Amino acid sequence: MRLRSEGCAISALHTLGLAVVAVPVVAGGATQLARTSRAVDTVAAIGALASAGVGVALVLATLLRLDEPLRTGVVTVDAASAVFLVPIIVVGAASALLSPPYLNDSKRSFFPAAQARRLYYLAFFWFWAALLAVPIAGNLGEAWLFVEATTAASAMLVAYSGGRHALEAGWKYLVLTTAGLTVALTGIVIVYVAAPAKHHNLGGLDWTTLSATSHDVPHRTALAAFVLIIVGLAAKIGWAPVHNWLPDAHSEAPPPVSALLSAALLPAVVLVVWRTTRALDPAVGTATTHHLLIGFGLLSLAVAVPFLWRPLAFKRLLAYSSLEHMGVIALGIGFGSRLALAGVVLHVVGHALAKALGFYASIPLLRLQPRSISRPVRGLARLDPRVAAALAISLVSLSGLPPSPLFFSELFVLLGGFVSGSTVAASLAAGLLALGFLGLVHALIEAMAGRSTAGPRVRIPTRQIAPVTIVFLIGLVALAAGAIAVPHSSLVEALSRWAG
């Protein structure tokens, strides 16, 4: 009887895993059937809610079975999937629902005018579907295919506005990330070919099989393949020094797409790196894999911090903040202690909420201060309190000011670093994070109280941002309130067991 119910549970989890990808694909197709702009928006909203519903069901089902994760060759649903699915689901749904205000304002597009709105949603939903597939991919090859699919689906979204800068950003994103992913594929094929012959089928790239057999791959070959895979994927994550596309794409993409890029895409690819690290640890050596991640983390922080001190356009500031925060996640995974992993869990979700809110605030901001597309925001508190509140909550959270959940997550990551014996790296990271904090606080003060250069005040309806701000604020407060309990949670327990 127990076996039968166990079989049903596994089958349900497997079906949910497939449905979470299929529903947004169908939703994207359905938007092509609608005739008017309003109808397209309605179909997109229904599709977004349906996709989010299936996603939430999958996360809940996963959390209920933390001790018995599903790991087939096709689908992997475990504690790590649950953590990384949350931002993709939340930010994907919010971005779909908040796209109409942006689309109503946009005057030109990469796509032909008559189909621009429909094609936007088609690319958006397929991008979202590919993103949802990444954390549950059952093997390394499949994960690579889905990451590559995110590039195909999102490049034209980055260039959606069709302007010169948007084309530049979209082209850089397409070329640099594809080049990186080709390097990663080279590493994947090398690992596959070098593995024992009995594993020469798709199953040979299963996360579990790879972990069990990688010690048979000669050390030097495994190391070369590992470096190729991680450096290639780093180009997609935007870790320094292969981050050149990131500030341009984040600043030029439509804000709902920027939110999805920063809050969902980057962490999703980090999970592929993490799983690869786990799988190749036996061949490469834990110390080497962890040192590489810590190196990427510190370098990303060191490159991001000087830019956080410069007077940048708001979306560009958020982009460099993404570089900083992906560095923190790399450090957490590299340190590897339970406390650091708790920090990673909190950071992935907290960063997603705070960053997405910042990008959503930029939709009305660009109407209030059109020059903020290329110049720093100034004097927003006097100009529009609603937009100012959204922007302030985002920047306060991203800076790590207590009681932001990112304060706790960064604290956990740093303490986790000291616990794991990485004293020098943790100390350096603490110094860089303190500098980054000061830079963002300075930007916040200027944005709120600085002298406005916006010219005469214009009346623009900004009411829509208020409910979004409240919802995201509740999420951030809840996360901060529960932060202390995270290191002792069964989720982090399961994650530490998996991460070894």
Q: Among residue numbers 297 through 356, which ones bind another protein (CB under 8 A)?
A: 307, 310, 312, 316
182 touches another protein by CB under 8 A: yes
Residue 48 or 169: which CB sits closer to another protein?
A: 169
For the bound state, the minimum distance from the C-beta of residue 258 to another protein, rounded and expressed in Å, comes to 14
The Cα–Cα gap between 417 and 136 comes to 28
Q: Which of 412, 430, 408 is nearest to 332 (CA)?
A: 412
172 touches another protein by CB under 8 A: yes
Q: Kindly determine how many residues on this chain lie close enough to bind another protein according to the rule CB under 8 A.
A: 55
Q: Which of 90, 36, 30 is nearest to 59 (CA)?
A: 90
For the bound state, the minimum distance from the C-beta of residue 29 to another protein, rounded and expressed in Å, comes to 16
Say which residue the tokens 């209920």 belong to.
64
Cross-strand bridge partners of residue 75: 137
192 touches another protein by CB under 8 A: yes
Residue 179 or 484: which CB sits closer to another protein?
A: 179
Residue 252 or 410: which CB sits closer to another protein?
A: 252
Among 37, 42, 221, 464, binds another protein (CB under 8 A): 221
The angle, 0 to 180 degrees and rounded to 10, between the axes of the packed helices 164-194 and 219-237 is: 160
Q: Exposed, middle or buried by CB within 10 Å (0-12, 13-18, 19+), for 10? A: middle
493 touches another protein by CB under 8 A: no
Token output for 345: 């869990």
The Cα–Cα gap between 91 and 86 comes to 8
Cross-strand bridge partners of residue 139: 206
206 touches another protein by CB under 8 A: no
Q: Is the dihedral of CA 67, 135, 271, 141 positive or negative?
A: positive
Binding mask 241-260 for another protein (x = CB under 8 A): ------xx--xx--------
Stretch that binds another protein, among 17-25, 48-56, 190-198, 470-478 (CB under 8 A): 190-198
The Cα–Cα gap between 83 and 63 comes to 9
Stretch that binds another protein, among 181-189, 263-271, 396-404, 463-471 (CB under 8 A): 181-189
Q: CB under 8 Å to 87, separation ≥6 — which residues?
A: 263, 264, 267, 348, 349, 351, 352, 353
Among 197, 455, 456, 463, binds another protein (CB under 8 A): 197
Could you tell me if residue 217 is left (phi over 0), alpha (psi between -120 and 50 degrees) or otherwise beta?
beta
Among 169, 273, 294, 499, binds another protein (CB under 8 A): 169
For the bound state, the minimum distance from the C-beta of residue 171 to another protein, rounded and expressed in Å, comes to 5
Specify whether the CB–CB gap between 118 and 31 falls below 8 A.
yes
Query: Helix or strand or coil: residue 369?
Result: coil
141 touches another protein by CB under 8 A: yes
Stretch that binds another protein, among 194-202, 286-294, 333-341, 421-429 (CB under 8 A): 194-202
Interface residues with another protein (CB under 8 A) are 110, 141-142, 144-145, 148-149, 151-152, 155-156, 159, 162, 164-165, 167-172, 174-175, 178-179, 182-183, 185-186, 188-190, 192-194, 197, 200-202, 204-205, 218, 220-221, 224-225, 228, 247-248, 251-252, 307, 310, 312, 316
